[in-house]
Structure 1
């Protein structure tokens, strides 16, 4: 059952059914209660394998990120949630800042997941960790734009691209995460100047989602745009004639390969602040880092595995050039701290 933020009442009813007092009181039943913003059919096999392997039953309520955060805040200490699964580092960091997670320690996760894909560690542990990654790539029209003019994020502010750049809203978490890394690298003054230059190069006011940006480049409305890599992969895998036509008209650039590396974001998870089954929650997170689960987790949304040394076979990923690109090394936990500052910059430069 998939719910949105606008249907919190229905989510509450579902949670009551799944996590009723009798179920919570039954000490013999091993459970982990999952609030998930991931809604992919392929994940079902992964969840079933966890239960078969551990004997721990997964009770799941699905919503979007905003719905999950709103529910956790409303439930407070009475929340049955053990694991929170969200699909963006900015959203994880925001929920963490609101005190909705608890720190945890796991040698398994320390060994499997790179530190840059987790919250900053404290003596008590970490509060969230990534389990899949996606790249923030550039798509461009090779008939209008040279590859050398879009091979870094910084060049999106070059006057050469005036009237050619398209993005979704600057305040969207996908862009906030990217912009926060650019500001972290360039510093506040140069970072804000860069954002001002991107605004000056806009072909039109920011609107739509990432797929809309790709299609706008293909249609000639824009010459260059930002998108998450999995949106490109979806179009590559599509059987629709129109989608195939779009991908014939655009090229893909993994930016900053000769410098700082391409920005990556995550889908990740945390242990809920008031988890009733914290040990089972950690077992579930450790399972998500296993090669078996990583294959399900990454392929479910055409993403890249987060765990070290794990690879997946996905023709769409291969068509984009594979997963062996240089990634940015700035820790997402550090970048998350820049987002309020970056939002204020966006307001000042008029980035809608």
Structure 2
């Protein structure tokens, strides 16, 4: 047990480094932007199964990418774990990742959830649907993301700011279907319908809806799952006031995104990095994402958890998520033109 615990080094980004030389044959070094409790149990299981020592540094997504760029070929990191296809694409563009070669991973993870050049792969899937206040909104009135720009929703929508990567990726998916002019027009309509300035995280939007500040929130499903499973009674109560509506079921489907993983260009333990990615894409690990993290599996053969099933099945947008990263710049332009702060 002591050996296992020592192997999982939880370090803040403020520390100068891992505190060891990354040359051992049986170790793998991770920079992770995911909350430690969401990934650590899986890393402990991998270490126990393989004997490969896992060393973990956690930090913010942007800070970890900057750190990889600054460290260059001297980086001790073998793996980068981060959230959103947009951030994964940024890592690829920054030249800090390398091609992953693994038939196991290709067979486990559908192509739409992998970079077209295999520079990164998705590990868990999250949807960004419409959440509405029960008793205030009739779900028959809801249909698509595009319809949220309808004046009938004026003063009724809560959503995060334009600087949020989740919103940028949502807009990139809309751009891929509707083009720049229509997307800007839609975003302008959204801004007109805001119930409040777009501040705070996804949980804040759900809480605002529950508190009567708006009737509709746009948020990632795992935040709602986390609130429903929270030990904080106020979060549970707020989450219970909203229901999930899956938009765009008659056309492209609901927007989805991933948390994902990449082998760093500087990896000194590439074989072990590949083994870890293969483990994290296995059926065993994928079940964990639904049962513990409130996320959907990227695998087709893993069913959602009971909580996620309770929201009903849905058609997901089939766009290759690489397109979200590629479209990020234009998404930001569209949001700026619309005055979405």
With normalisation by structure 1, the TM-score equals 0.89
* Structure-2 separation of matches of 1:283 and 1:56: 10
Does the CA-based 8 Å contact 1:46-1:293 persist in structure 2?
A: yes
Query: Which ranges of structure 2 fall in alignment gaps of 5 or more residues?
Result: 1-8
C-alpha deviation, 1:335, in angstroms: 2.0
Does the CA-based 8 Å contact 1:3-1:64 persist in structure 2?
A: no
Does the CA-based 8 Å contact 1:82-1:278 persist in structure 2?
A: yes
Does the CA-based 8 Å contact 2:65-2:91 persist in structure 1?
A: yes
Partner of 1:345: 334
Partner of 2:4: none
C-alpha deviation, 1:281, in angstroms: 1.0
| Alpha-carbon distance change, 59 to 40 in structure 1, aligned in 2, over 3 angstroms | closer
- Name the stretch that deviates more: 53-62 or 79-88: 53-62
* Structure-1 separation of matches of 2:127 and 2:151: 25
- Name the stretch that deviates more: 50-59 or 85-94: 50-59
Is 1:50 paired with 2:39? no
- Name the stretch that deviates more: 246-255 or 218-227: 246-255
| Corresponding residue to 1:190 among 174, 182, 187 | 182
| Corresponding residue to 2:321 among 310, 313, 332 | 332
| Corresponding residue to 2:111 among 110, 115, 120 | 115
C-alpha deviation, 1:145, in angstroms: 2.6
| Alpha-carbon distance change, 280 to 342 in structure 1, aligned in 2, over 3 angstroms | same
Is 1:318 paired with 2:306? no
C-alpha deviation, 1:298, in angstroms: 3.8
Does the CA-based 8 Å contact 1:230-1:303 persist in structure 2?
A: yes
With normalisation by structure 2, the TM-score equals 0.92
**2:176 alignment partner, SS class:** helix
| Corresponding residue to 1:237 among 229, 243, 247 | 229
CA displacement 1:280-338 (0-9 Å, x = unmatched): 111111111111111223434210111231225x34323323xx321100111012111
C-alpha deviation, 1:247, in angstroms: 3.1
C-alpha deviation, 1:136, in angstroms: 0.1
Give the alignment's Cα RMSD to 1 decimal: 1.8
| Alpha-carbon distance change, 87 to 210 in structure 1, aligned in 2, over 3 angstroms | same
Is 1:279 paired with 2:271? yes
CA displacement 1:31-61 (0-9 Å, x = unmatched): 1111112224363332233223333211111
**2:244 alignment partner, SS class:** strand
Query: Which ranges of structure 1 fall in alignment gaps of 5 or more residues?
Result: none
C-alpha deviation, 1:269, in angstroms: 0.1
